[in-house]
A and B are shown apart, each in its own frame.
Chain A
Amino acid sequence: MIRFDQVTKVYSGPSRPALDDVTLEVLKGEFVFLVGASGSGKSTLLRLILKEERPSRGRIHVLGQDLGRLPNRKVPYFRRNLGVVFQDFRLLPNKTVFDNVAFTLQVIGKSKGFIQEAVPDTLKMVGLGNKASRYPHELSGGEQQRVAIARAVVNKPAILLADEPTGNLDPATSAGIMTLLDRINAGGTTVLMATHEAGIVDQMRRRVIELVGGRVVRDERQGGYTQTIPVQTFGLPGAADAPAVASGVSR
C-alpha cells in the first residue's frame, strides 16, 4: 500500500534532514500511528505520501505507483485515492457542511446525482446527518473535524492520512473522533495518523511507528505511545514488520 525505501528528505539550507533513510511498509487495511516530537518528520512523511514534496533520496511507492515516476499532471488523479485530515480542519467558512463535503466531489467532476446521494450518506456516517445546512462556525470543534473527515472519505479513498486530527480537541471529543477513524478503518480504508497524544495511542493499541530526528526508531505492532519493549532496528528492509531488540539508536 505504502512503501518507503531508504527515503531521505532534506529541505533547502544547511539543516539536518527532515527524514533520514526511512524504510517502512504499510499494508492494506492497517491502522498506523506515527508518533514523535514536533519536528521529528511526521508531517514531512505525510507530505511525501501526498507527493506535495519529493524525496531527496530513495523511492516511495503508494498504491502501486512509483511517486518518483508519476508525472505532475497525473498527481491530481493520484490524490483522488487519498483522503487527508488536518489539525486545523481547513473547512471553507462560506459554505455549508453539505457544500463543504460536496465541494470535493464537484471539483473532481462527479455528477450531481452522485453528490446528492454520497454526501448525505457520508454525513450520516460521521454523525452529522442533521447538520448538513449549518455553517462551520456554527459547529463545535469536534463537529468541524467530523465534517473534515466526511470530506476526506466521501470519495471512498483507499488511504486516509490524518495529521494530528485531535490536536485541537478535548479528550472526550478526541475519543469520538478516534471511534470514527476506527470505524472508517474497519471499512477497509488504510489509516495513517500522525499524533503526539499518548492517551489515544495507548488506548487504541495499534501499530506505532516512532520517529526521532527523522529516523524510524521504533515500529511496533499494538504499541503504546512510549516504548513498551526496548526495540527496534531501522533502515533494514522487512525489519518494520518484525519488532526486534536493537541497540538503542536515537539522537
Chain B
Amino acid sequence: MRVGFVLSEVGSGLRRNASMVISVVVVTFISLTFVGGAILLQMQIAQMKGYWYDRAQVAVYMCNDSTVTGNCNGTKATQEQVDAVRAQLESPTLQPYIEHVDFEDQKQAYADFKKQFRGNQIADFVTVDYMNDTFWVNLKDPSQSDVLVESLAGLAGVDQVQDLRSYLEPIFSALNAASYTAIGIAVLMLVAAVLLIATTIRLSAFSRRRELGIMRLVGASNRFIQTPFVLEGVFAALIGSILASAAIVALVQFFVQGYLTKVETSTPFVTLDSAVVVVPVILGIGIVLAAVSANIAIRRYLKV
C-alpha cells in the first residue's frame, strides 16, 4: 500500500513537471558524459604511459656512414666503438640503473622501418646504410635518463643519446589538458544539474503544497512526505546517467575501438573494459547528487 502510494505520487509528480524533468535528464546526461570522458582520458593516458614506458626509454644511436652530427664524422661506428659502449652500459657504474639492454643492428632496424612505413614512398628510398646501430636501454627508473646521456654522449662513434620520453611528454600533457578541461566543464555542468534538480523539486513541492499541508496536518512522517520527491529527482538523474553511460560505451565501442584503433595501430587504446568501469561511477554520481540536492530542496517543506 505505502509503496504503491509513494510510486503513484512519484508518477504524478513526474507527469506534472515533465518539462523540468526533461531538462534535468538532459543536463545530467551531458554533465555525466563529460565526467565519463574525463575519466576515460585519464585511463587512456595511464595506459599509454604504461605501454611506452615499458618499452625502450633511451636510445643510443651509433654513427652510420651518412651522419655528421654528434661524435660522428660520416663513417660508420666501428665494432670496437660499439663494444666500448656496450662495456660502458654493463659497467658497475651504470648497471644499477639499467633494467635491460637490447641491441638492434642496421639490418633489423631496416626491417622494422620497412614494416612501419609500408606503403609509404620513403620506404623505397631509404637503404640499410641510413639506419643506425642502436642500443635500446630500459631504465629501472625512467626519470634517470640523464645519467645515461652524460656517460655515453661523449663516447666515440655515438651519434646521439635520446630519452624517448621527451617525445611523449607533449602528447601526455595535451591529453592531460584535455581531460582537465573535460573535468572543468563537467563540474560546471554538475553544479547546473544540482541546482536544476533542486528547483525542479521545489516546483514540484509547490504545486503539491495543499497535499503537503494536509499530510503534515494529519501526521504523515517526514520520510513519507519527502520520499516521493527524492525519488522523483533520483529518477530523472538516473535516466540522465543511463544515457551518459550509453554514450560513453558507444564512444569507446564505435569511435575508439571501431575507428581510432584502425587508424593508429601502434597505440594501445582504452577498451570496453575501461568503459564498464566508468559506468558505475557515472550512475553513482548521478544518483547521489540527485538524492542529496532533492533532499535539501524538500527540507523547507518539512518544517514542523
Is B120 in the interface zone, CB < 8 Å from A? no
Please give the number of chain A residues whose Cβ is less than 8 angstroms from any Cβ of chain B in the complex.
Answer: 26
CA distance A80 to B216 in the complex (A): 10
Residues in chain B near residue A51, CB distance under 8 A: 304
**Does the CB pair A84–B2 fall under 8 Å?**
no
Interface of B toward A, CB cutoff 8 Å = 1-2, 5, 210-211, 213-222, 224-225, 304
21 A-B contacts (beta carbon < 8 Å): A50-B217, A52-B304, A73-B221, A73-B222, A76-B221, A76-B222, A76-B304, A77-B221, A78-B219, A79-B216, A79-B218, A80-B219, A84-B217, A90-B214, A92-B211, A103-B214, A106-B2, A108-B218, A108-B224, A112-B1, A151-B218
Is A155 in the interface zone, CB < 8 Å from B? yes
**Does the CB pair B5–A106 fall under 8 Å?**
yes
Residues in chain A near residue B221, CB distance under 8 A: 73, 76-77, 108
Q: Is the interface of B mostly helix, strand, loop or mixed?
A: helix
**Does the CB pair B304–A72 fall under 8 Å?**
yes
Q: A109-B2, A112-B1 are in contact. Are A76 and B220 (CB under 8 A)?
A: yes
Q: Given A76-B220, A103-B211, A111-B1, output 12 extra A-B contacts at Cβ < 8 Å.
A: A52-B304, A75-B219, A76-B216, A78-B219, A79-B219, A80-B219, A90-B213, A106-B5, A107-B225, A108-B220, A108-B224, A109-B2
Residues in chain A near residue B2, CB distance under 8 A: 106, 109
Interface of A toward B, CB cutoff 8 Å = 50-52, 72-73, 75-80, 82, 84, 90, 92, 103-104, 106-112, 151, 155
CB distance from B229 to the nearest CB of A (A): 14
Residues in chain B near residue A112, CB distance under 8 A: 1
CA distance A245 to B228 in the complex (A): 57
CB distance from B53 to the nearest CB of A (A): 57
CA distance A106 to B220 in the complex (A): 9
**Does the CB pair A75–B214 fall under 8 Å?**
no
CA distance A19 to B304 in the complex (A): 20
Residue of A nearest to B211 (CB): A92
Residues in chain A near residue B211, CB distance under 8 A: 92, 103
CB distance from A95 to the nearest CB of B (A): 9
CA distance A51 to B214 in the complex (A): 15
Residue of A nearest to B210 (CB): A92
Residues in chain B near residue A73, CB distance under 8 A: 221-222
Q: A106-B1, A112-B1 are in contact. Are A80 and B210 (CB under 8 A)?
A: no
Residues in chain B near residue A110, CB distance under 8 A: 1
CB distance from A15 to the nearest CB of B (A): 22
**Does the CB pair B215–A107 fall under 8 Å?**
yes
Residues in chain B near residue A104, CB distance under 8 A: 214, 218
Residue of A nearest to B225 (CB): A107
CB distance from B34 to the nearest CB of A (A): 39
Q: A106-B5, A109-B1, A109-B2 are in contact. Are A90 and B220 (CB under 8 A)?
A: no
Residue of B nearest to A71 (CB): B304
CA distance A78 to B222 in the complex (A): 13
Residues in chain A near residue B210, CB distance under 8 A: 90, 92
CB distance from B275 to the nearest CB of A (A): 43
Residues in chain A near residue B214, CB distance under 8 A: 90, 92, 103-104
**Does the CB pair B222–A107 fall under 8 Å?**
no
Residues in chain B near residue A107, CB distance under 8 A: 5, 215, 218, 220, 224-225
